[in-house]
Structure 1
Amino acid sequence: MNSKRHSEPAERILKTAGELFYTQGYAATGVNQIISEAGVARASFYQHFPSKKDLAVAYLRRRHRIWFQWLRSHVERETEPTARLSALFDFLADWLPASGYRGCAFLNMMSESPTLGGEIQAVIKQHKSELRDYIRALTAYLDVSPQEQIADVVLVLFEGAIIECQVMRDLWPIEAAKKGILRLIDR
């Protein structure tokens, strides 16, 4: 069997579910809608994803890889440590309007379904932990102390900027967070 042909339905399901979960929400997206819009048979859906939760886990893992690629490619164009921190917020300024201010897919899913628990919550927590580790790695090159505390402030302002931009549908929270961080590390 051609593995490409075998994976096509799974890819269509993941792509469709990702768009629907992100734009209309996890709880509002039903399996029947995903099957219909992906153009796959019900049996094919369940062959690849035994449940909606399994599909959500696959979606979040994929989203994590893609989102981190976007973030890293944006940040790592810069060579100076301060410029890299600044680029974190420049990334947000590019990404959020392009996404229609939908915000963080992980926080969105968690906030609408806080009782999901299990593997979905574990994937969300892993994503946030890896973001924290990435920011800590970026601050390790700064001449500031205590570095971990500064990194945690950057993380909180980064996450807060995402949420506030989503609510306000404006970029001013990103600029405020970026200015605050630059002021903090320049003290």
Structure 2
Amino acid sequence: MKHSEVKNRIIETASFLFYKNGYNSTGINEIISEAGIAKATLYNHFKSKEEICLAYLKFKNSSFIQDVEDFTTSKPKGKAQVLAIFDFLELFFRDKDFNGCWCIKTVSEIPKDNEIIRAEIQLQKHSFIDLISKLITNNLENVKEAQVKSLARQIYLLYEGAVGESIYTKKIGQ
């Protein structure tokens, strides 16, 4: 198996486990076992659990941004593309493996002084806001350039609030 294939298998395995069980509840030995690799193989690709976490965050975000962009731009041009963010969100909620926002879950588990992971999460949140800004710019005619960021942040906050609320209501069965 190629070097990149093994690394991708480690990332995919860790991503599944971190998202499902949480960062702190997932151990290196569990990742090794689930990926079907030797410990030395894992450490040939990643120096630490933190490096694996960064790869996990990047993997999840890359897939998410691409999926949102593909979904929204498949809708008719105009307001429909912007509003499609919330249609995408509904599909996200209905996924059998839905377990909330991977960034929020991760940041709640890492030490407050872990600036590397926190910086990656901030970058991901900004990339989502940038995607929303792009959708607004490309689809809404009467929005001035100065208003785009503000509107994008409002949509982002609605999206993030819905994700947070969905976990709460899912846990209490509503």
Work out whether the TM-score is over 0.5.
yes
Unaligned runs of 5+ in 2: none
Residue 78 of structure 2 corresponds to residue 77 of structure 1: no
Name the aligned partner's letter for residue 36 of structure 1. S
Q: Which residue of 1 aligns with 2:39?
A: 42
Deviation at 1:79? 3.1
CA positional deviation for 1:126: 0.7
Displacement of 1:114 after TM fit? 4.8
Distance 1:56 1:45, change over 3 A: same
Q: Give 1:98 shift.
A: 0.3
Aligned counterpart in structure 1 of residue 65 of structure 2, from 55, 65, 68: 68
Deviates more, 1:52-61 or 1:8-17: 8-17
2:62 & 2:114 partners in 1: Cα distance?
21
1:120: how far off?
1.3
1:81 deviates by 2.4
CA contact (8 A) 2:71 2:88 kept: yes
Kindly tell me the number of residue pairs found equivalent between the two proteins. Answer: 167
Deviation at 1:116, TM superposition (A): 5.6
Is the counterpart of residue 125 in structure 1 residue 116 in structure 2?
no
Q: Deviations over 1:126-174 (max 9, x none)?
A: 110011111112222422453332222111101111111121129xxxx
Matched residue SS, 1:169 = helix
Is the 8 Å Cα contact of residues 101 and 169 (structure 1) preserved in structure 2? no
Q: How does 1:1-80 map to 2 (within 5 A)?
A: 4-80=1-77
Query: Residues of 1 paired with 2:123 and 2:113: CA distance?
Result: 15
Q: Which residue of the other structure, out of 96, 104, 107, is the alignment partner of 2:104?
A: 107
Q: Percent identity?
A: 35
1:60-91 CA distance string (max 9 Å, x none): 11111111111111101123221012100000
Amino acid in structure 1 at the alignment position of 2:79: T
- Indicate if the aligned counterparts of 1:101 and 1:165 stay in contact, CA closer than 8 A: no
Using the alignment, how far apart are the partners of 1:61 and 1:37 within structure 2?
Answer: 20
Read off the aligned partner of 1:46 and give its amino acid letter: Y
Q: Give the aligned CA root-mean-square deviation in angstroms.
A: 1.8
1:26-68 deviations in whole A, cap 9, x for unaligned?
A: 0110101111111111111111011000011111111111111
Q: Distance in 2 between matches of 1:98 and 1:116?
A: 33
> Are 1:97 and 2:94 an aligned pair?
yes
Deviates more, 1:95-104 or 1:85-94: 95-104
Shift of 1:5: 2.3
In the alignment, structure 1 segments of 5+ residues that lack a partner are 171-187
